[in-house]
Homo-oligomer: A and B are copies of this chain.
Amino acid sequence: MAQLKGNAIVGQSGGPTCVINQSLVGVIEEVFEHDCIEKLYGSRHGSRGILNEDFLDLKAIAAKGACCGKKYNSEFLNRVAYTPSAALGSTRDKPDAAYCEKVFEVFKKHNIRYFFYAGGNDSSDTARIIRDMGVKSGYELKVFHIPKTIDNDLCGIDHCPGFGSAAKFVAQAFMGDNQDNRSLPGIKIDVIMGRHAGFLTAASVLARQNETDGPHLVYVPERNVSMQQFIDDVKAAKAKYGRCLVAVSEGINNENGEPWAKVMAKNVEKDAHGNIQLSGTGALGDFLVSKLKEAMPGERLRADTFGYLQRSFAGIVSESDATEAREAGRLAVRYACTTNDMSGSVSFKRVSSSPYKLEYYRNELENVAAKTRHLDDAFINAEGNNITQAFVDYLKPLVGDVPQMGYLY
């Protein structure tokens, strides 16, 4: 096949992460290495920006201020790479076939032959639909998905760019909160993001550096828990440790498999639209505290909901996550420009955990699109209220160094 010449477009989609701009910068840097790509458009706010033809000329922006004979301004691009959230803007749009048709028309209009899309499983599905339109209509288009999510719930990949940095935030937050709870003993609940998968909540256990350290209990969406069991568990942990630190996923379910956030909403005021929100509200944590208060009167009870800080906090980045996200962006371009493959999703295979070694490869979009990965059974204890050493071994290289706590007693 002759090399496909034309323009490229890159977009970012879904909930941002602290390293999604690493992938973006990886795309920009790599595009400069391949003559087949003329212009590189940056779509503002993902698929919506394509529809609106709201583009940035990324090669021009990157070239500004370049020095020392370089094609782009590395210092500037590095600053963008280490900036949390989507520098192009993101979108919550979930394109259907009609929406994708419009996107496809814009591609044809601007001679866009390369589409790089950073996002989660919905975004890979969008990429798949658009690729199929190209195939069907005979318009040559290369479509590559760059994985991104703090939830780590993408299939066909050892772990997902964005997860390691969010996990690092959660681990360090729990490290501090464990010291706080030790210092002023009581019962503390921390609510973590993750609607369907418990990876990020499970990352809280990396905070443990001493045998009495919390979190003492960890609840993930993969295991149902009744309110009675929850209360009994907290009482037992309190009796054992004189305090209790609990990690709770926003997506936990009751004994019937219904989300607690939904069950709770039956008893509390809904918002003006009748919506039940998971993130951006402290309602679930406050609800759990209210239930514990009834069962354990007089206890010091608090709940924090980590909220958007988990995915956006500036300055807490896992270095391996940053490196891998950058490389994922670069590889998307390299796969597109140097192979005959018309589509794919950049994927990671772990060769070993210690020393940590990763292999990158091209996965089929079909293996990623619209699928959700869950915590392995081996990562959850038999009681369904804690996380195993196997998960810690899996997680450690993804997070890298964390502060070491000092104990006087």
Q: Which A residues are closer than 8 A to B by beta carbons?
A: 12, 15-16, 18, 21, 42, 44, 56, 58, 61, 76-92, 172-173, 175-177, 179-180, 182-184, 188, 269, 271-273, 277, 279-283, 285-286, 289-290, 293-294, 297, 301-309, 311-316, 402-409
Asked if B172 contacts A313 (CB within 8 A), the reply is: yes
Whether A281 lies near B281 (C-beta < 8 A) is no
Select A315's contact among B82, B285, B402, beta carbons within 8 Å.
B402
A-B contact pairs, 30 of them (CB 8 A): A18-B176, A61-B409, A76-B406, A78-B406, A79-B406, A80-B408, A83-B405, A86-B183, A86-B184, A87-B406, A87-B407, A88-B408, A89-B183, A90-B184, A173-B313, A173-B314, A177-B308, A177-B312, A180-B308, A180-B311, A188-B308, A273-B293, A273-B297, A277-B302, A280-B301, A281-B289, A283-B286, A304-B305, A305-B307, A316-B316
Q: How far is the CB of A73 from chain B (nearest CB, A)?
A: 10
Contact between A315 and B316, CB atoms less than 8 A apart: yes
Partner of A286, one of B282, B309, B311: B282
CA distance A206 to B277 in the complex (A): 30
Please measure, in the bound complex, the distance between the C-alpha atom of A77 and the C-alpha atom of B303, giving whole angstroms: 31
Instruction: Report A392 CB to chain B, min CB distance, Å.
Output: 17
Identity of the chain B residue whose Cβ is nearest the Cβ of A275 in the assembled complex: B293
A184: chain B residues at CB < 8 Å are: 15-16, 86, 89-92
* Chain B residues, Cβ within 8 Å of A81: 406
Across the interface, which residues of B come within 8 angstroms of A91, CB to CB?
184
- Chain B residues whose CB sits within 8 angstroms of the CB of A289 once the complex forms: 271, 280-281
Residue contact B293 to A272, C-beta cutoff 8 Å = yes
State the Cβ distance, A24 to closest chain B Cβ, in Å: 8
**Residue pair A290, B315 in contact (C-beta under 8 Å):** no
Known contacts A86-B183, A281-B282, then 9 further A-B pairs from the complex at CB < 8 Å, ordered by chain A residue: A82-B406, A89-B184, A176-B312, A176-B314, A179-B312, A269-B290, A271-B293, A272-B293, A316-B316
Q: Which residues of B contact A402 (CB under 8 A)?
A: 314-315
Chain B residue at smallest Cβ distance from A409: B56
Contact (Cβ within 8 A) A42 B408: yes
Q: A16 touches which one: B89, B179, B404 (CB < 8 A)?
A: B179
Residues of chain B contacted by A273 (CB below 8 angstroms): 293, 297
Inter-chain CA distance A239–B92, complex, in Å, is: 21
Contact status B302-A308, CB under 8 Å: yes
Q: Given A82-B406, A312-B180, A315-B316, answer yes or no on A280-B297 (Cβ-Cβ < 8 Å).
A: no
Q: Which residues of B contact A302 (CB under 8 A)?
A: 277, 279-281, 307-308
How many whole Å from A118's CB to the nearest CB in chain B? 12
Cα A400 to Cα B341 in complex, Å, equals 49
The reply to whether B281 and A303 form a contact with Cβ atoms under 8 Å apart is yes
**Known contacts A188-B280, A272-B293; A180 and B85 CB within 8 A of each other:** yes
Do B176 and A309 touch (CB < 8 A)?
Answer: yes
Nearest B residue (CB) for A81? B406
Please measure, in the bound complex, the distance between the C-alpha atom of A182 and the C-alpha atom of B88, giving whole angstroms.
Answer: 9
Set B61, B173, B293, B305: member contacting A305, Cβ < 8 A: B305
Judge whether B280 and A283 touch: CB under 8 Å: no
The 6 closest A-B pairs by CB, nearest first: A282-B282, A280-B302, A79-B406, A304-B307, A80-B406, A176-B312
Q: How far is the CB of A80 from chain B (nearest CB, A)?
A: 3
- Whether the Cβ atoms of B183 and A403 lie closer than 8 Å is no
User: How far apart sit A323 and B160, CA to CA, in the bound complex (Å)?
Assistant: 38
* Most chain B CB inside 10 Å of its own CB: which residue of A82, A91, A175, A176: A176
Contacts of A90 in B (CB 8 A): 183-184
